[in-house]
Every structure is written in structure tokens, then in C-alpha cells.
Amino acid sequence: MSDKATITSVLKEATEGILTEDALAEIEAVFEESVKERVALHVEKALAEQDDDHAAKLEKLLEAIDTDHTGKLNKLVEAINTDHASKLAKAAKKFNKTLNEDASVFKEEVVSNISNYLELYLERAIPQEDIKRAMNNTSAVRMLKQLREALAVDSALAQDTIRGAVKDGKNKIQTLDKQVSSLNENNEQLTRELVRARSQLVLESRTKDLPETKRKYMFKVLGNKTPEFIEENYDYTLKLLEKTEEERLEGFKKEAASAKQIVDRPTKKQVIAEQKESVVTEDKSSDQPQSGLLPNYMDELRRT
Amino acid sequence: MSDTNKTTNLNIKQFIQKVMEGNYAQADKHLQAAVEQKLAKHMKQAKTKNIFKK
């Protein structure tokens, strides 16, 4: 009111009463309107500046708050991770322990409980007394059967007729056993004699054309053999004998050849006598053809 | 633990295993075997008693 009064009074003094009260009031209203508009512009400008300033400050504040919160959140996440990792490790350890130890114990307990339950159920369903009674009955029946068999044999043996028959049978069995033994011995002896006779027969038939010396030798070597052995080995034994004889004669020839230088030449009569004697002895000793050997021997003696 | 008890417990374990697998036919066989072994044990205990002993 003081400003309004001042503007009205200033205009009155400046115009010295030229302007009427209405004009003054209108001028004052226009002036106030203009002042209000300018004030509104200034206020709006100040508010815009303040808003920009506050926006910038708020942005900085938000950035700072975000940075702070981010750091704090990172620390929080790290702490939570560490905590959760340790808890997980503990949980895994506990789980493993539970799985490996407690579960085994639990399993054994479950098995033991089921076993006990089965025991109790069986005892209730089939009482132990019944089982014992059944087993006693079975054992008694088996034992009575064995006793019955034993007693039946004894009572049969106790009767005189059966006992006499049994004794008679026993004596007959013993007699027949002795007879079988003696028959077996006779059979073996006869078999041996038969084999020997067959061997002699075979040797007789095979050596009937041989000289006496070879025949004796063949009987000596193969006389106690079986006929089959004689048939198989007769030719080989004969060849062996002839070979031995030849070797012996070769030995005589060599001996004579080595001894002819130191021995004096015999007279013709002695030679003839020796020749006759040797022919006789050779005819006696073997049937080997010696007719070719003696002339050679004599020719050798004459040549030296 | 005797061999009979071991065999019985093994049968019970296999019975549980087969039940968990849902193989009820095999579970029945193992349970039957366990029960038969227990019955045989009871019968053996009753058999060893001498019936002529006072």
C-alpha cells in the first residue's frame, strides 16, 4: 500500500493534478501488471536455473550413490559367495559323511531291524515249540526205523532154522571158495604146460632140418619162450647165430695169418693129418660149409 | 556273524534293493530265501537237541 501510494503520489506530484484518479488507477494497474509479468519471468528464470543446478547436483549425487552402492554390492556379493561357498563345502562334507558312514549304519540298522522283524514274525507264526516237536518226531521216526531194521535181522537170526540155513550156506560158500582156488591153480599149471608143449612142438618142427649144434642152440635160446615169440623171433635168432659163427671163423683166419711167420712149416704128413683132423672136427662142430676155407688155408701155408 | 546270518542279511539287502527298483518278483524271491534260511536255522537248533537226553 505504501508502494501503491508512493506511485500514485509520485504521478500526482509529477502531473500536478492533470491526471484524474481513474487514469492514475489504470496506470497503476498497468504498472503493477507489468511488474508482475517481469517478476514471473524472473522467477521462472530463477526456477529454471535452480532446476538445472539441482539436476546436475542430483546426477552427481546419483552417480556417487550408484558408485557407492555398486562397491557395497560387490563386497556384499563377494561376502555372500564366500559364505555360501563355505556353507556348500560344509554341506558337501556332511552329505558325504552321511552318505558313506551314516547311510551304511542306517542300512545295517534297517537290515538288522528287518531281520529281527522276520524272526519275531516267524516265532509268532510258527512257534519254536512246534518246530522242536516236529523235529523230535522226525528224529524219533528215523531212529525207530533203524531200530526196527536191526531188530528184525536179529530176531530172524535168533530162530534155529534160519540160523542153521545161514551156517549151511556159509560152509558151502567156504568149500566152494577152496575148490575155486585149487581149480585156478590147476588151470594155471596146465596152461603153463600147454604153452611149454606148444613151444617145444614149434621148435621141433622149425629145427628138424638144422644141424644138431644149431638145433641145441635154438632150443637153449628159445626153449622157454611162448610159441608166438618163437614164431616171431626164430629167423632173427638163426641169423644171429650164423653171423656169430662167421665172425668166429674170420677171427680164426686172422689169427692163423698172424701166426704163420713164426711157426715152422709142417711136413706134408702133418699137414695131411691136420687136414683130416680139422675136417673131422669141423664136421662135428657145425654144418657150416668149410670146404672152401681149408684149401685157402693150405694154399696160404704152401705159398710161404 | 555266521555264514547263515551273512547270507540272510545279504538276501534282505537284495530284497530292499529290488523293492526300491520296483522288481517285485525278484524281491519276493529274496525275501522267501531269507525266511527259509531263518526257518532252517530254527530247525537246525531244534535238531541238535538229543531227544533221549534227560
A86-95 confidence digits (pLDDT tens): 999 999 999 9
- For residue A179, count CB atoms less than 10 angstroms from its CB and return exposed for 0-12, middle for 13-18, buried for 19 or more: exposed
Q: Is B8's CB within 8 Å of A131's CB? A: no
**In the predicted model, what is the mean pLDDT of chain B?**
85
Q: Is A139's CB within 8 Å of B16's CB? A: no
Rounded CA gap, A23 and A17, in Å? 11
Average pLDDT over residues A215-239: 86
* Chain B nearest C-alpha distance from A102 (Å): 16
% of chain A residues with pLDDT over 90:
33
% of chain A residues with pLDDT over 70:
82
Rounded CA gap, A272 and A280, in Å? 12
Predicted local confidence at residue B53, as pLDDT: 57
Q: How many CB atoms lie within 10 A of CB A235?
A: 10
Please determine, for residue A184, whether its predicted confidence score (pLDDT) is greater than 50.
yes
**In the predicted model, what is the mean pLDDT of chain A?**
83
CB neighbour list of residue A131: distance below 8 Å, 6 or more residues apart: B39, B42, B43, B46
Pick the residue with more confidence: A1 or A237? Answer: A237
Instruction: Name the residue among B13, B16, B38 with its Cβ closest to that of A122.
Output: B38
Query: Looking at this protein, which amino acid is placed at residue A126?
Result: I
Helical packing angle, A227-259 and A293-303, nearest 10°: 10
Pick the residue with more confidence: A20 or A188? Answer: A188
CA-to-CA separations, A110 to A100, A232, A266, B9, B34, in angstroms, rounded: 15, 86, 127, 10, 15
Predicted local confidence at residue A1, as pLDDT: 46
Please determine, for residue A290, whether its predicted confidence score (pLDDT) is greater than 60.
no
Tell me the pLDDT band of A111, cut-offs 50, 70 and 90: very high
* Chain A nearest C-alpha distance from B47 (Å): 6
Instruction: Please give the grid coordinates belonging to residue B23.
Output: 522288481
User: A136-180: per-residue pLDDT in tens?
Assistant: 888 888 888 888 887 776 666 667 777 788 888 999 999 999 999
Please determine, for residue A199, whether its predicted confidence score (pLDDT) is greater than 50.
yes
Q: Is A107's CB within 8 Å of B13's CB? A: yes
Pick the residue with more confidence: A172 or A288? Answer: A172
**Which range among A71-85, A100-114, A119-133, A147-161 shows the weakest confidence by mean pLDDT?**
A147-161
Contact status of A136 with chain B (Cβ, < 8 Å): yes
Tell me the pLDDT band of A293, cut-offs 50, 70 and 90: low
* Chain B nearest C-alpha distance from A125 (Å): 11
